[in-house]
Amino acid sequence: MSKFLKILTLLVSFLVLLIIAGVLYITIALPNVGPPPENYEVASSPEKIARGKYLANHVMLCIDCHSQRDFSLFSAPPIPGTEAAGGERFDHSMGFPGVFVSPNITPAGIGEYSDGELFRLITTGVKKDGNPIFPVMPYPNYGKIDAEDIESVIAYIRSLEPKSTKIEASKPDFPVNLIMRTMPVKAGLTKRPPASDAVAYGKYLVTASACADCHTQFENGSYTGKPLAGGRTFLFPDGSVLTSANLTPHETGLKNWSKAQFIERFKMYENPEHIRKLNPGEMQTIMPWAMYAGMTTTDLAAIFDYLQSLEPVENTVIKFIAKENS
C-alpha cells in the first residue's frame, strides 16, 4: 500500500471514529438540562385550577394540540370528547421530519409523572425517561414564563377526567432524532409582568402563546425572517398552502388595525357560526381561533399594544393557496 493510501485510510478511520464518538456523546450525554426538581409538589386550589384551565385552553393552547382536531371545520377545533386525550398527528404530509403524535395529558396519560417531572417536561422538553420531545410543543417558550403559570397548568391537567387512549409512538426521521437531543436547554423562567404594564404583559402573553413560532418565516429547519413578521408556510395534506400573517405595525401587517378591530377579530369566533363546515378549496387555517377567542379583552388588548411596539417590517404574504384541481 502506498504512503498516500495509508494516510488516507488513517484519516478516514479517524473521521469515522470521530463521528461515532459524536453520535455516542449526543445519544448518551444529551439532553443535559439537569434532573427534575426534587420533593416538588404543586399545591392545587380552585383558583390555580381555574388559571390553568384558562392558560391551557386559551393562551398556551395545550388542549389544542393534545386533542384530535376536526379539519373539516374552519380553524379545526378539537373533536368533542378527545380534549387532552392526545392523538393529533403531525407527519410528512404536513412537512414534518417524521411522525409526531401528541400524548394523552389527562391523568390516565401522565399518572406516572411526578409534578417535578411534568414541570421539567413542559419547560425544557425532556421526558421522564430523559429523552427529548420534538418542539412542535413550544417548550422553549414555556421555559421563559412564570413558574406559577406552569404550576397552574399542571394543577389543571391533574384535575381532568382520565381518558384511556392508545397513542401511536412518535418517530422522528434521521438525523432529526439526533438533532432533537441537542435542543433542550435549562429553563430561564421569568415573573409575569403586571397587566398595568401593557406592553411588557403583552410580550409575556405572546411568548406564552408562542405566536412567533408560526408568525416568523421558517425555512430548512431554522427561522430566517424577522420575528412576528409572518411568512411561515404550512402545508395541508391536500396540497393547499397556508402562510402566516405579518403581525408587525407595517402597512403589510397591522399598522392600519385599531385595537377594537384586533380584539373583535378574535372575539367573533366565540360565535359558533364562524366555525363552519368548509367546502373544497375554501381557506383553512391552523390558527385555533375558537380557542383564542376565550382570551380576555384585557389580554388581547395587551397583545395588541405589544405588537404595535415592534419594529415595522415590510412583508406582504398570500395567506392561502388552495390546491389546484387536476
Write the burial class of residue 318 (CB in 10 Å: 0-12 exposed, 13-18 middle, 19+ buried).
exposed
**Is there a contact between 138 and 209 (Cβ–Cβ < 8 Å)?**
no
Query: What pLDDT is attached to residue 74?
Result: 96
Query: What pLDDT is attached to residue 325?
Result: 56
Joined grid coordinates for residue 264: 373583535
Single out the residue of 107, 137, 106 nearest to residue 122, CA to CA. Answer: 137
Cα separations in angstroms, 110 against 64, 68, 69, 186, 272: 17, 18, 21, 22, 32
Q: Cis before residue 175, ω within 30 degrees of 0?
A: yes
Query: What pLDDT is attached to residue 1?
Result: 58
Chain Cα centroid distance, residue 83: 17
Query: What pLDDT is attached to residue 25?
Result: 73
Look at the block and give the residue holding cell 425517561. Answer: 129
φ, ψ for residue 172, nearest 5 deg: -70, 150
198-209 and 297-308 helices, crossing angle to 10°: 100
Kind of pairing, strands 171-172 and 218-219?
unpaired
Task: Write down the pTM of the prediction.
Answer: 0.93
Q: Which residues of the chain have pLDDT under 50?
A: 326
Query: What pLDDT is attached to residue 326?
Result: 47
